[in-house]
Chain A
Amino acid sequence: MADPIHQFQIIDLLPIAKIGSTEIAFTNSAAFMLVAAGGITAFLLGATAKGRLVPNRLQSTAELSYEFVANTVRGTAGAEGMKFFPFVFTLFMFILTVNMIGLIPYAFTVTSHIIITAALAITVFLTVLIYGLWSHGLHFFNLFVPKGVPIYILPLIVMIEILSFLSRPISHSVRLFANMLAGHITLKVFAGFIILMGGFGAFGWAGAALPFAMIVILTALEMLVAFLQAYVFAILTCIYLNDAIHPGH
């Protein structure tokens, strides 16, 4: 039977260097990231090259994506959050594009590997930490001290708040990774059912229509998930950045 995990295999395409015993290679994952980055750049450059006052379809798509992310940033992190707009926009467009490319048959889904989503989440986490400490100094740690808490349970609350802060990159990365992984495995398992049913002659062919219909529905659902997870990643980034910009609740 077809192996539903096979799609996540990393393949070395081009060896680059060897550090110690670790092989550094240009993999299929890197290739798809490059395709996504190139695609976004080409799309945005192409859409904004003319700068029409009345936008055509391509330009209005680019304007729509700008407005969408800008409204998210302003709504969650306030007007001061707009200095992080390039960061959030890059994250959103990259994750969205990579998720959507992953839905094309035979394509590789970069975000279905936790190392990618963890790297993105840790980048956000460190940005929040470093910007918070840089702009507020030690007042940044007011984040861990909620107002109006009696002094005798304050140490406990502060410990809980610190643990809650440290757990952010984990839930941030696991959510995107697990959604993509589960969705793609489900798709492949149902695809496997079609092949199995098809082996039973004419009766099986009729039965195979059921998992096939399921695949069509699931693909539509996965498109929604691909967009939604990119959006959730972006909006959580904004919420975390809001803590760095305005600590002390």
Chain B
Amino acid sequence: MARGFRLSTELVAGVVVGAVIGWLLDRWLGISPWGLIVFVLLGFAAGVLNVMRAAGVVREIDRTD
């Protein structure tokens, strides 16, 4: 359970950070809804990256470069 918990928080954290940044950019720059759309997608990608790092899929590839 601990492992599943860890991976799910990693994914959600990425999406949340993306959503918050997108929402703030929308408010400050008045570009609603484009900031939210773009940054939620980027945040989702970051979340997937987090999960892959946490699961140890990506880190090994980084090291061999």
The answer to the question of A6 belonging to the interface, with a C-beta cut-off of 8 Å to chain B, is no
Question: For the complex, is A5 an interface residue (Cβ under 8 Å from B)?
Answer: no
Contact residues in A for B35 (Cβ distance below 8 Å): none
A160, B10: Cα distance in complex, Å: 14
Task: Say yes or no for A22: interface residue by CB 8 A criterion.
Answer: no
Q: Count residues on chain B whose CB falls below 8 Å from chain A CBs.
A: 24
Chain A residues with CB below 8 A from B62, complex form = 146, 249
> How many contacts between A and B, using CB within 8 angstroms?
67
> B1-24: which have CB < 8 Å to A?
2, 5-6, 9-10, 12-14, 16-18, 21
Pair B42/A163 contact, Cβ less than 8 Å: yes
Return the CB mask of B24-46 against A: 1 if under 8 Å, else 0. Answer: 00000000000000010011011
Contact of B13 among A146, A170, A229 (CB under 8 A): A170
Known contacts A147-B65, A148-B65: does B14 contact A163 (CB below 8 Å)? yes
Given contacts A160-B45, A160-B49, A164-B49, whether A171 and B13 have CB atoms under 8 Å apart is yes
Q: Is the CB of A225 within 8 A of B42?
A: no
Residues of chain B lying within 8 A (CB to CB) of residue A174: 9, 12-13
CB–CB B50/A164 < 8 A: yes
Any B CB within 8 A of the CB of A2: no
A229 and B14 CA atoms in complex are apart in Å by 21
Contact between chains at A163 and B43 (CB < 8 Å): yes
Residues of A with Cβ closer than 8 Å to B? 146-148, 156, 159-161, 163-164, 166-168, 170-171, 174-175, 178-179, 225, 228-229, 232, 249
Interchain residue pairs with CB less than 8 A apart (23)? A156-B42, A159-B42, A163-B18, A163-B21, A163-B46, A164-B14, A164-B46, A164-B49, A164-B53, A166-B17, A167-B10, A167-B13, A167-B43, A167-B46, A168-B13, A170-B16, A170-B17, A171-B9, A171-B12, A178-B5, A229-B2, A232-B6, A249-B62
